[in-house]
Amino acid sequence: MDLKLLYIDDSREDRELLRTILDTITNSIELREASSGEEGLQLLEADQNIPDILLLDLNMPGMHGLDVLKAIRRDERLKGIPVIVFTVSTASTHITEAFRAGANAVINKPLDLSEYKQVFIDTFHFWQNISRLPSK
Distances (CA, A) of 28 to 4, 23, 104, 135: 9, 10, 22, 18
Per-residue pLDDT band for 136 (boundaries 50, 70, 90) equals low
Q: What CATH code is assigned to 3-130?
A: 3.40.50.2300
Name the residue ranges covered by the structural domains of the chain: 3-130
Tens-digit pLDDT profile for residues 51-85: 999 999 999 999 999 999 999 999 999 999 999 99
Average pLDDT over residues 101-130: 84
> What is the predicted pLDDT for the residue at 51?
92
Global confidence as pTM: 0.89
Alpha carbon distances (Å) from 79 to 10, 75, 132 = 22, 6, 16
Average pLDDT taken over every residue of the chain:
88
